[in-house]
Amino acid sequence: MTGKVVVVTGAASGIGRACADRFVLQGASVVLADQSDTGELAESIRSQGGQALSVRVDVSDELSVSQLFVETDQTFGHVDIVVNAAGLHHRGLSYDVPLSEWDKVIDTNLKGTFLCCRSAIQRMRLNGAGVIINVGSELAYVAAPHVSVYSASKAGVVHLTRCLARDHGVDGIRVNCVCPGPTDTPLLQRSFSQSDDPAGTRRGVQESTIMGRFGRPEEIANVVHFLASDEASYMTGSIVLADGGVTSKAP
């Protein structure tokens, strides 16, 4: 990954942070994009000899996303890889979900992924190469209770990935999607806290896996890194489930 420039959204925590760490370890220059301040993380990377840029971004806002890629161009000159890991979760039954929450989740998870892909593809087409990895969810494939909004947004990400891969293979751009199962991140913990029975919900989600445990962010980052690498050069439009066996397990 030496010489590669990687933009990671949602880089402040969870899977996004683990992905950023993985790429830095492999010698890439990393743009840490998040609504939260990633300045200290970027400074820590630079102090250890790495290359990092911190950019505050709202992925649901077109101008904010455009500025993210402008700053990336100004600092590093190009972008090779984009990891769309920014996401929101909402738990609740459809008739209880305020429309504002639907808009917020869809705008971040689906529209945000689209906006980042669009800005990246505009640049990658000029270079004749590029890799995009979107982060979906096993909930794009299985119907779990009380997560219809989040699940719909991630199902959209899965099919958006396939369509973009189909459109831009001719441009030398590979687009793939990783669908993690329940992974021990702040996002998952916040989801449990929205439940009427957080401990029971946590236990049920953990038991939904074959492996009987939550994934670790670095385990998902390993898959993302593989898809971004030349070792996955014949993969595009692929949806890779790293879900602890959730989608293989009968109820």
Q: What is the 3-state secondary structure (H, E, C) of the chain?
A: CCCCEEEEECCCCHHHHHHHHHHHHCCCEEEEEECCCCHHHHHHHHHCCCEEEEEECCCCCHHHHHHHHHHHHHHHCCCCEEEECCCCCCCECHHHCCHHHHHHHHHHHHHHHHHHHHHHHHHHHHHCCEEEEEECCHHHCCCCCCEHHHHHHHHHHHHHHHHHHHHHHHHCEEEEEEEECCECCHHHHHHHHCCCCHHHHHHHHHHCCCCCCCECHHHHHHHHHHHHCHHHCCCCCCEEEECCCHHHCCC
The sheet carrying 81-84 orders its strands as: 51-56, 29-34, 5-9, 81-84, 130-135, 173-180, 239-242
Is 150 tagged catalytic?
yes
- Give residues with Cβ within 8 angstroms of 103, minimum separation 6: none
Provide the annotated active-site residues.
150
